[in-house]
Amino acid sequence: MSPKAVKLPQAFYLHSDVVEISLRLLGKVLATNIDGKLTAGIIVETEAYAGHRDRASHAWKGSPTGRTEIMYRAGGLSYVYLIYGMHVLFNVVTNKAGIPDAVLIRAIEPTDGVEVMLDRRKMTSLKPALTNGPGKLTKALGIDLSFYGLSLTGDKIWIEDRGLRIPESEIESGVRIGVDYAGEHAKRPWRFWIKGNPFVSK
DNA sequence: TCAGCGATTAACT
DNA sequence: GTTAATCGCTGAA
């Protein structure tokens, strides 16, 4: 962690408005430290999933069991799962215990450990394709299913504030991706990204 | 038990 | 623009 960085405290994740947290996470830095290898990047794209109120959420109909159990806990944990049998997606659990809200991190802009990330992605030069998608950034940061349920206030994975502030005029919002099955809920503009950032997913 | 499918990506035509 | 890769969860038998 660089000198001016401040790790976000658990209180940050307990906020009751998952949309508000999604906005505030833009410009923050997601970091992992695996076997002494530090990798990190600025969060440039997020999506809000508002638990039981939101049909697009994994926790829509369901009880606190199986893979969604972690979302019912108090905020500040990581919710990691496998999609299409091959891609790992990373979410931040928010809100207080009993309310399964989460924020999906869809894209980051690499800042630390670029060499390590390139190696993990089997790439040779820094291009947006390194981290401009939810399955890509997890691979670059070395996040896998073993990160399920880890605390974001620990020392293996965390989110820190480096003082970067994204003005509201630099944030764009839109419809979430890949959740067409959710009917009307799919139309809610709960996807947020930093305007013009080349690392935002397509 | 077991078939079907998803908050995706990369490699095709 | 289309499609294969690949696995844990879900719902139906």
Q: List the domains of chain A with CATH numbers.
A: 6-194 (3.10.300.10)
Question: Beta carbon of A68 within 7 Å of strand C?
Answer: yes
- What pLDDT does residue A67 have? 86
- What pLDDT does residue A3 have? 63
Question: Beta carbon of A181 within 7 Å of strand B?
Answer: yes
DSSP secondary structure letters along A74-106: -SSBEEEEEETTTEEEEEEEESSTT--EEEEEE
Determine the protein residue whose CA lies at the shortest distance from the C1' of C6. A85
| pTM, entire model | 0.94
Q: Is A45's pLDDT higher than 60? A: yes
Angle at which helices A134-141 and A114-121 pack, to 10 degrees? 120
Distance CA A10, CA A27 (A): 18
Nucleotide nearest to A71 (CA to C1'): B7
pLDDT tens digits, A104-122: 999 999 999 999 999 999 9
